[in-house]
Amino acid sequence: MVHNATAAPSWPLPSPRVAQLFRRGAELALDPPGDWVEQLHSASLSGERMRPVAEDPVLAAQIRGANLANLRHWVAANLARPGERVPVDLRPELLEASRDLVRRGLDEGALDSFRNGQNTAWRRWMDICFGLTGDPAELRELLDVSSLSINTFVDDTISALSERMRAERAALTQGSHAERRAAVTLLLEGAPIGRARAEQRLRHTLSGPHTAAVLWGDASDRLEAAAEDVARAAGAAHRLTVIAGATALWVWLPVAAAPPQEELERALAAHPDARVAVGRPGTGVDGFRRSHFDAATAQRMLAASPARRCVRYGDIRLAALLSDASPQLGEFLEDTLGGLAAADPVLRETVLAYVRALGSTTRTAELCYTHRNTVVRRLARADELLPRPLAENPVDVAAALELLRWRAP
């Protein structure tokens, strides 16, 4: 039976016994298993409507952060006041995610991620509830109150975030940034916007060379300094910059060559929180568009490799193509690399350098900054781990190693 509290007549509260069970369940939910958290994130980013979010590492990370913020807030609220209505808590993770969704041109439909996550969370909570009591009446009341609590909390949160997104959209429809963002969106979508009109709105010429970059990892105002250093590394006198979110910038440099990897690393040395992915150079409107999509692809690859901070699409093109080519990639890696796949990264890098050096151990030693005899020993160890000797299968091994460098652990 649900007890109606006189202090809050519009909200049914659980009986003392069920309130006790509710608090015990919240204690069990404090530290959810890692595999369940991954299921929550996967559900939140699933579906066609969420594809633009799932494919963007920055937005996807923000949704994951928002999921955990909501979960922790709901659990904490029920530890303190089990069964009472959980107030909305628009924490920075939620506000940042909602702002960036608007800045990427997405509407309130993207908040469906919380509904998808809610279904996964409900299944986990039911498992907890069934382990708390075997009494049918207690279980029925506990599930009734829980369902009302979770549904209302998600509804209230989505309503509050929708209001914030509408306000953010209204603010973005004014000023020069909105004009640049709208023009860039039209260009990237291939809309029939005239070049002269687009150039006027962007204040950036589209007829020459373009090298696009995506920077992310810190507040956009602090990323500006990193973008300036990247432009300087590329030899660009000016740049087109669009704020893609609270923690991301889209940049186009009027240069015909991507900056060298070493220069990129030097440019980021003073910006420890920034990361950058650079596309292939292109020309004209098509080059403007393609270079950005290359940079976005490189960004997704880089996001799966936390130890790296910068990458050029040209250097990971093969791995990017392979990663989208077939669902049997796991089999390819296992069949090709065998034990080498789990070996010391230094050993794998030596083998890759050896193939790139066309089988020259002397050149490999120079590339790896080590002695030739060390290279020979590492290659012998690699042959012990590989299903087939390296000399019989160098192309497949190199492709597999290149792909492995850019796959998430």
**Which distant-in-sequence residues (6+ apart) come within 8 Å of 232 by Cβ?**
267
Mean pLDDT of 387-407: 85
pLDDT of residue 243: 84
Per residue in 220-278, pLDDT tens? 557 888 898 999 999 988 899 888 877 888 999 999 999 999 999 999 988 888 999 99
Q: How many CB atoms lie within 10 A of CB 242?
A: 18
Q: How confident is the model at residue 44 (pLDDT cuts 50, 70, 90)?
A: confident
Mean pLDDT of 52-64: 84
What whole-number distance in Å separates Cα of residue 364 and Cα of residue 376? 10
1.20.990.10, 1.10.490.10, 3.20.20.70, 3.40.1260.10: CATH of 2-172: 1.10.490.10
CB 105 within 8 A of CB 81: no
Average pLDDT across the chain, whole number: 85
Q: Where are the domains of the chain?
A: 2-172, 206-317, 326-405
Mean pLDDT of 375-383: 92
Indicate the pTM of the whole model: 0.57
CB 397 within 8 A of CB 365: no
**Which distant-in-sequence residues (6+ apart) come within 8 Å of 306 by Cβ?**
none
Per residue in 100-120, pLDDT tens? 787 766 777 777 778 888 888
pLDDT of residue 87: 92
Buried b (16+ CB within 10 A) or exposed e, 182-213: ebbeebbeeeebeeeebeebbebebeebbbbb
Would you state the CATH architecture of domain 326-405? Answer: Orthogonal Bundle (1.10)
pLDDT of residue 2: 43
Nearest CA to 292 out of 215, 212, 230 is that of 212
The CATH fold of domain 206-317: Alpha-Beta Plaits (3.30.70)
Asked if the model's pLDDT at residue 386 lies above 90, the reply is yes
Per residue in 278-293, pLDDT tens? 999 999 999 999 999 9
Report the DSSP pairing between strands 240-245 and 2-4. Answer: unpaired
Asked if the model's pLDDT at residue 40 lies above 80, the reply is yes
Mean pLDDT of 366-383: 92
Mean pLDDT of 350-373: 91
Asked if the model's pLDDT at residue 7 lies above 50, the reply is no
